Structure 1
Amino acid sequence: MGARGTLRSHKPWKIFLARVLLIPAGILCSASMVRADCPQALGSGPVSEPKLSVMLYVQGRLMMRSPSRLMERGEYISPEQRLINRCSGRLTATTLSETLPERLNVFAHKSKAARSGAFVGVSSVDQKMAMEKIGPDWHAYVTAFPDLRFVGATNRFAHGLLTLDDTIRSVQDLAGKRMGLVMRPSSLRALQETVLINAWDIYDQITVREYLPGELAAALDGGEVDVVFMPVARVVNGELVSMNIDIHRKDIRWISLSPDDVVAATANTPVLAERVVFIPSA
């Protein structure tokens, strides 16, 4: 999905790239951006009175500390809700903040006609698990949701295995080390465990420490962990742009994930992964 783009590479540090879908309400083009003007899709069409109410189901615990989630009257207000309520003459939005799969499980015993909502920030890992009712018991969907449809913008995130320890040079060196992972429940964690178990079979040989995605870099720098597995970049106009950590830092060591590892990690699993890319050097 999407153009591959041209990634400049001087030192080929390999990382794992998984497709991640951001799912705003179907009419949104760029709901996460706070703009002075309104998207054309929201401003088009006749004004409706009363407005049609839409519920936005946004990520809960992993995102709750993010400054992008604003609080009013004790309730968390998503940027998508603010945009819809400011710009649309036909819709009025309300935000419900909860983790997946709970956001979808509330519809398990409702008829298809009664299933209505827009799920913001859903990954391609969750897509397959939700539609087919598969995945780990700590991230379980209570029923299959084959009628689930994904719309809106597509973001692609790169996940990397990073360390500051010069003695860690390969996967074999990870045994006995403290590894920072994204906390459960999370599709990011499902992806990480799939790689650590299916590709390398070392999950039971490491000491797992759990963090929010934005806390992993600080945990590595502070010596709380020896290595981190984390989302490190997103693809913007075909180029990798740092997120959570500066991917050009010269003190970082990258632990390679080969194309064969990707095949081993994703075969017969709920993970929808794309490819291995090269991190450009500083």
Structure 2
Amino acid sequence: FLACAGERQSPVNVLTTGPCVHSGGQDGQLDGRVMYTVAGGTPQVTVSPYMRSVMLEADFGSIRLQDDTGRDVEYTAHQIHLSADSWHTLNGAPAAAELMILHKPKEASDMIKGGVIVSVMFEHDDAADSPLFEHLGMPKEGPEMEALGSWQLPHYVNLLDNLQDVLKGATYQYEGSVPVPPCTENIKYLVMGQLIKFLAALVVGVLSDTMAGSIGELVIASPQSFCNVIKLGTFCRTVVWPCLPPVLMYQYIRGKDDDMYAIDVLYAKSGSKEPKAFYDASRLKGSSHWRMQQDLETIRAAANAE
């Protein structure tokens, strides 16, 4: 977990213009190297409060990338995460949604060492069709959905069919981290520069409604919070991602049984390489949420010093 204090933490602001543009950017970098297949069957689509996303594990095919020696290495696509709004930003602006496709080296058991994440951004358009989202079970009418933590995949998912155009476009890459603790810094990110149009109500409604049912009320107690709470019950991104940019905040989460739990979150000032403390999070009653404990007195003392 101490790797979260490193210098290659994800997500980042991807720069596509100006003197500090991220490497890559050329069209067709992934053209002919993506071998995504149709994921069928009836796997579970789950809502992950830990990553504030809709998640699906299945065999989505693979991609081939060249290593530093020019040798082709195959990576298996085994998981997708869909979030609203986006984790990454493009030139400082968040997108309406982001799809992360997680890959592990073909012979590896997981992606912790040498994994690859392909990131695709979406922008809102009331007139757009959204087959990928509908295939994941998100009703076209949007927010009117029963609060569920998971559901059966209602339709096969064809990533290549939905993403082939954007995968032929500009690709921006950087070396980052696993986006949740332990935040290990050995993940290659390929962020697509072209945005796909979709009906934003689909994913926003699902995430907010399902999380409201599984987590409960979220009350932001600090005016310094930069969290964008979509609806009551949506988890704040700085709580679930201690790898995000520096911020000092104090929050409460009210559980389903009206038990009050406190979370202290403290990050170093912007530009500092040594965080003064991490955070304390008490497990929500009846949930499987994460728990990391640090010395609260140290955290509060550092907060008072600010």
TM-score (normalised: structure 2): 0.27
The answer to which structure has the higher helix fraction is 1
Highest RCO, 1 vs 2 (Cα 8 Å, sep ≥ 6): 1
